[in-house]
Every structure is written in structure tokens, then in C-alpha cells.
Amino acid sequence: MEFFLISMLNSLSYGLLLFMLSSGLTIIFSMMGVLNFAHASFYMIGAYFAYQISVWLGFWPALVIAPLLVAAVGMAVERYGLRTVHKYGHVAELLFTFGLAYLIEEAVHLVWGRSSVPYVVPPSLDGAAFTLYSTDYPIYRVFMMAVSVSMLIGIYLTLTRSRIGLVIQAALTHPQSVETLGHNVPRVFMLVFGGGSALAGLAGVIGGNAFITEPGMAAAVGPIVFVVVVVGGMGSLVGAFLASLLLGVLQTFSVALDYSFADLFAKFGYTVDPDTPLAVLWNLTISQTGPVLPYLLMVLMLIFRPKGIMGSREG
Amino acid sequence: MFHFKRTAEAMVLVSALFAGSAYAETLKIAYIDPLSGAFAGVGDAGLKQFQFVADDINKRNLTGGPKLEVIGFDNKVSPKESLNVLKKVIDQGIRVITQGNGSSVAGVLIDAVNKHNERNPDKSILFLNYAAVDPDFTNSKCSFWHFRFDANSDMKMEAMTDFMAKDKSIKSVYLINQDYSFGQAVTRAAKEYLARKRPDIKIVGDDLHPIGKVKDFAPYVAKIKASNADVVISGNWGADASLLIKAAKDAGLSTPFYTYYFGGLGSMTAMGDAGVGKVKQITEFHSNIKPNKTEKFANAFNAKYGGPPNHLTFYYLRVNNEMYMLARAIKETKSIDPKKIALKLEGMKFESDTGEVEMRATDHQLIQPLYISTVAEAYRDPKNPKTAKFKGTDPDVKYDVEDSGLGFKTDARIEGYVTAQPTSCQMKRP
């Protein structure tokens, strides 16, 4: 029971972090149709900005300033890069963001070096929040969950209740009408791209010190973010939320399952020994295949339900 | 016209002579290890230590002439990338390489060096391995061109299980290791040796996780907790060590860890006070061994690199052993030819700071004393204001690691001959 509850909490916090990461990507995709390959790079620069600011001003200012800076970078990228490339179609946009990811990684190498930086959890958030049976649950993980959930509520309210949200939604479906009403549609797109990047940046601020801040972090989370978006349904925020939680549970619990095909065969009275054909494969446990499972899920999803869990666009 | 041609020829000749002598004056050593990515911290610390020792050797002229220069090459701990790097190294005319992080890398380097040397006997490459500890390299895969200066994984496990076998309170063990040749070797040896020495000990967990990919070890820690193991054994290193111990600390896991590398870069800071009395390591050196003949040297290194951002602490005595033995081989052969150096290194006995060590000729495995030690709070000496930030009361724990306030206290010293194991190596000599 203790193991189940702790693992549930672990998967919840991991899933929520994944959601923070992928929500920006899915918003940008649903609103602008741009599949942003550099999204994970914004996560990375969020972490690096937060590290740099926390060295100068402390963690709390970093929590606010770093995502804003990332938003500024994102808006600049949209204004001076994507907007120009846009007229050549989606393939050009895709290639542009693909190249951008490499540029950002090299820039990080130049500024902060190739090694990891000592970005750590602030002392006020270091320690145990509560003890469940005999396992401590860290404050920082609770904090991660709180930030993520409040972010979800924030996005939802902005998109459905605020004026700017209404303009954004309208600009998606009827850009010309919105333009005739006197709104600046390109600027709306710029804001959306900046906002989406800021969400990734925020995930970086939170995730960078929970795990590790190094130049490879973008490449490490990049693929998994796409899995979330594909499994959740391209462009669906709710889908991304569900998919993130699902992947969190999948990755956390797969670690615990030491079952293999050999165990299954044993149930039917057949033992696998080293001479059995494909013995290596049969002895592979679920916990060892854990890292591959999300991608397996993505491939199966694309085959059997290509539109994902929530397969329609928002709005 | 004729004269001009003669002069030109003479100039070419003279410059060739100069080039030749410049080569003889400096022996370049290619350090092939991660200088970017998750393991860059470890790779960078190793490079600094190599360069520091090289400076010392050059200053004291221990080679009797040639200067040593260590040049870093980034291989991103990738075997494939390492082969590209090796090509680059060969193209630059560098004939001595050293590597340590990742037995997967060392394995392909040994194969590539063997092949290269077979085809180019006059341009042979020498591979000095300071940390890749897959036992195969000095057994089935042993090579004349490869020398290992760290005790291999089986030797360390033999010593560690000897120590554990005496502790009757240990009834169950949990194994967590990286899923590649080295981690698998640790797992295999732990099971085999414990079954031989203490058949009553149960293996309650056996995890192999992808190397350098896991960022969140909380699920593994929950699993360790659920298993109720008395002890965890782990060969993890680099970020895989520091993230694992950090997750264990966050969850309040109180199980002792028997490790190979948790004294390495970043882990001590990550574990904090939670590691005191619980985390053990097996190494050839730590800063509080007695007697400590490396003290002055280590202090000089720490004075240079101990500050922010990385707060490095002298860690690899084996790097010193490797470089000093190389220097002696150069001096005694009066040559920087890899083959002559290799022949000299074979069977070389060397008075190291921890006692006599021997490069066993049969398999090129260095036989050296090892220490098992436990994390302890560094000693607060009332007379020494520099130690005011320390909290410990044991004068034996004089130095801390990476400004963490934590150091190591020796549990046991294992003599070299005790760690020596038989080898199946059948070496082909050129």
C-alpha cells in the first residue's frame, strides 16, 4: 500500500511536469498549426535562465522572470523567424524550428559551457512535506504539482474567460473577420507563440533543479513531449493533460514490474534456460523495457487511433 | 638557380629535423572522455587532474626529457563518437590515448586500437585505461596495447563482499546498476560472490536502468523501500549516482549504500547529511587515508580547482599512478615509442603513495591496495578556524569533499595481493 501510494504520487508529479512541458507545444500547434521542434529547447533555456537569475537574485524572482524572458525569446523567434518562413508552408516551418533547436543548444554551450550547472532546489523548499507510512514526500514535488495545476487553471481561464482569450479563439477560426474588426492578428499569433514558449520555460525553471540542468536536457525530453502530444491528440489541451498523467503512471509503475515472458511461460510449465532460442528477449523484464514503453504506446496509438485520446481541435 | 634549389632542399631538411625534435620534446596524450552532456562534469574533473599531474611531471622532469601534454577530446560517452575521435587523434599523430568513463567506450577503443596497430605496426597506439573496469578487458578481451590502472569490477566486488560477509546483520541485498557491460558485471559478480560467501543473504531486487537517461529515480527508490532490503549495492557513477542518492535522500530512505563511485563528483553534495554513516565506497584513495602521502599534492590541486563553480576535490590517485608510471617508462627506455613504453610498463613495480603497486605482466591489470570507507562529517578542529563550518567530532576525518562538509573515514584497507584474481588472459604480443 505504501509503495502504491508513493508511486501514485510520484507518477502524478512526473505527469504534471510532462504536462507543463507539452501544454505549450500543444497550444502552439492547435492555434498556429506549427509543430515546434525547438519546444524542448525553450524548456532548457528556461532552466538556464532560472539558474542564472537564481545566482543573482534568488529562486523566487527567477520563477517569475525566467518564463517572461523565455516568452520574449519566443516572441522574437516568431516575429523575425517563423513569420517570414510561414509563407513557404509547414515543411519550411518544421525545418526552421528543427534548426533552431541546434542553434539554441550551441548557444547554451557557448554561454554556460558543456557541463551541467549547479542549479539546486532553494533551501526553503528542501525537505519533507509529509511522511506517508515511513516514506518522506519532498516539499519540492508538492510545489511542482501546485505550480502545474495552477498553470492549467490559468491557461483555461485565460482562453475561455478573458478578452484576449476570446480574440485568440476567434483569430484561429476566422482570422479575416477578426482583422476587419481592427485586431492585429499577426500580433495575436506572436503572443500565442511567446505564451507557449513561456510555459515550456516555466517547466524548465521547475524541472531544471528537480533533476539536472545540462545542455543535453532538451534532447532528453524532446521526444517524450511529442509522445504526449500525439497520444493526447494533436492540439488538444485536455488530451495532453490526460496523456501526461498516463505516461507518468506508465513510466513510474513499469519500473516496479519485474515480470518477463519467461515468468509467463513458467506459469504454463515451460522454463526458459540460456539455451532457449531468443532467451535474452524472453528474460527481458518490463522494468528494463520501461524507457521504450511511451514510444510503443505512441506507435500503437498512431496505428489504432491516429487522432489520439481527445482527437479534435480545441475551440 | 642551382644554388637556390640546394638552399631550398637544405631548408626542408632543417625544418624536418626541427619538426622531429619538436615531436620528441612533447608526448601528446589524448584524453577521450565526455566533455559535454550529462557526464561532462566527471569528464572535466578527470581532464583537470590529468593536466595537473602532467604539469608536475614536466616541472620535475620525471621523464628525463620529453614533456607531457594532455589534450581533451569529447566523446559524449558514446562508443560510436569515440571511434570518430580516435580517427581524429590518429590523424593528429597522437600515439597515446587515455580513457575511463564507460566500459562500453573502452571496449570499442580496445578493438579499434588492436586493429589499427595490426595494420600500422610502425604507428601503434597505446591505450592507458584509468577507470573502465569491465573485467573482460584483462581477461577474454585482453590486449598488449591496453593497460588498466583501476582495480577491475570483480576485484572491487570481491573486496566489498568480503567486508559485507562479516556483517551478520545483512540478510537481504538490493542491486541497482546501469544497464551496460559494467553495470551487468557488477550485478553478476555481486550475486555470484554473495552466494559463495553468504548463501543466507537474499537478493531482493535487481534493477538495471538505462545509463544516463533516468532523470527521476523516485520510482526506483520507492521500489527499494518496498523491498525492505538491508543494503543496496550500486556501481552507478556520474549523474546516475548523484540523482539516485538525491532521490533516496528526498524519500528519507535509510538503507545503507555500498557503492563504487558515490564519492565521485556531485554525489556528496547531493546526499548531504543523509549520507553520513550510510554510504560506503570502495576506492584506491580518499583524502583521509592514513598515512596520507598524497596530502600535499591533493591540497595543491584543491587550492587551484576547489573553488566555485565546481568545487573539485582531488579524487583519482590512479591518474597519478598512471602518469608517473608512464613517465618512468619513458625515462627508462629513453623513448616515447608506444611499443617500447608498453614493454617497459609490463610488470613494472612502482612505489605509489599507498604502497607498492604492480602492473601485472600477464594481463596488464594494476594490482594495488584498496580502501573501503564510509561518509562522515568532517572534523571541526577548535584550533583551526578554516574548519569552523564543519560539524564532525572525529579527528580522522580531516578533509571534506567538494566543500560539502562531508568526507570519508576508512573502514578497511585491503592489500593488493588480496584483491588480485586469476586471469584467463592469453596475450598476443607483437
pLDDT in tens, B56-109: 999 999 999 899 999 999 999 999 999 999 999 999 999 999 999 999 999 999
Write the CB contacts of A247 (distance below 8 Å, at least 6 apart in sequence): A15, A18, A224, A227, A228, A231, A294, A297
Q: Residue ranges of chain A with pLDDT lower than 50?
A: 313-315
Domain assignment present for residue A312? The answer is no
The chain-wide mean pLDDT, for chain A, equals 88
Interatomic CA distance for residues B270 and B246, integer angstroms: 5
> Among partner residues B210, B216, B252, which is closest to A131 by beta-carbon distance?
B252
pLDDT value at position A195?
92
**Residues of chain B contacting A210 with CB distance shorter than 8 Å:** 216
Task: Write the ipTM.
Answer: 0.84
Domain presence at residue A99: yes
Domain boundaries, position A146: 2-304
Q: What is the mean pLDDT of residues B117-123?
A: 94
Residue A216 is nearest to which of B38, B216, B269, comparing CB atoms? B38
The CA distances from residue A229 to A95, A223, B195, B278, B328, in Å, are 19, 10, 48, 42, 60
A165: left (phi over 0), alpha (psi -120 to 50) or beta: alpha
- Contacts A2 to B, Cβ<8 Å: 225-226
Tell me which amino acid residue B303 is. A
Under DSSP, the state recorded for A81 is I
Q: What is the pLDDT of residue B23?
A: 43
Kindly state whether residue A170 falls inside one of the protein's structural domains: yes
Nearest chain B residue to A256, by CA: B223
Residue range(s) occupied by CATH 3.40.50.2300 in chain B: 2-151+316-367, 154-283+370-414
Q: Which residues of A touch B78 (CB under 8 A)?
A: none
Domain holding A91: CATH number?
1.10.3470
Residue A314 lies in a domain: no
Which of B222-231, B306-315, B384-393 is predicted with the least confidence, judged by mean pLDDT? B306-315
Residue A73: closest CA among A53, A115, A96, A43:
A43
Q: Which residues contact A256 (CB under 8 A, 6 or more apart)?
A: A3, A7, A287, B219, B222, B223, B226
pLDDT value at B214 more than 90: no
Closest CA to B131 of B301, B276, B319: B319
pLDDT band at B268 (very low <50, low <70, confident <90, very high): confident
| Mean pLDDT rounded to a whole number for chain B | 91
Q: Measured between CB atoms, does B208 come within 8 Å of chain A?
A: yes
* Confidence category of residue B10, pLDDT binned at 50, 70, 90: low
* Cα–Cα nearest to B78, from B211, B167, B185, B234: B211
CA angle B8, B10, B15 (to 5 degrees): 95
Domain B154-283+370-414 has CATH 3.90.1300.10: no
Distance CA A32, CA A16 (A): 24
* Residue B346: closest CA among B148, B61, B155, B151: B148
Q: Decide if B222 and A10 are in contact by the 8 Å CB cutoff.
A: yes
Residue at A309 is within a domain: no
Strand partners for B375 = B408
Mean pLDDT, residues B385-412: 91
| Residues B410, B418: Cα–Cα separation, whole Å | 17
Of B38, B219, B309, the CB nearest to A256: B219
Residue with cell 598476443: B428
Contact B223 A255 (CB under 8 A): yes
Contact between residue A185 and residue A179 where contact means Cβ atoms under 8 Å apart = yes
How many domains, chain A? 1
Res B37 pLDDT > 80? no
Nearest-by-CA chain A residue for B218: A10
In chain B, the residue whose alpha carbon lies closest to the alpha carbon of A125 is: B250
Question: Which residues, in sequence order, are CB contacts of B391 under 8 Å at separation 6+?
Answer: B377, B378, B380, B405
Structure confidence at residue A305 (pLDDT): 87
Return the CATH architecture of domain B2-151+316-367: 3-Layer(aba) Sandwich (3.40)
Percent of chain B with pLDDT over 70: 94
Among A130, A138, A147, residue whose Cα is nearest residue A59: A147
**Among residues A205, A212, A288, which one has the least CA distance to residue B38?**
A212
C-alpha to C-alpha distance for A241 and A232, rounded to whole angstroms: 7
CA distance A62 to A205: 8
Strand order in the sheet with B172-178: B202-209, B172-178, B231-234, B257-259, B279-283, B370-377, B406-414
- Please enumerate in sequence order all residues whose Cβ is within 8 A of that of B353, keeping only pairs 6 or more positions apart, or say none: B285, B292, B293, B294, B297, B317, B320
CB under 8 Å to B207, separation ≥6 — which residues?
Answer: A255, A287, B174, B175, B176, B177, B220, B223
Q: Which amino acid is at B237?
A: W
Residue A311 in domain: no
- Provide the 10 A C-beta neighbour count for residue B190: 25
Q: Do B250 and A136 touch (CB under 8 A)?
A: yes
- pLDDT for A58 equals 93
Mean pLDDT calculated for residue range B208-235: 91
**Residue A92 is placed in which grid cell?**
519550411
Q: Model confidence over B230-256: pLDDT tens digits?
A: 999 999 998 899 889 989 998 989 999
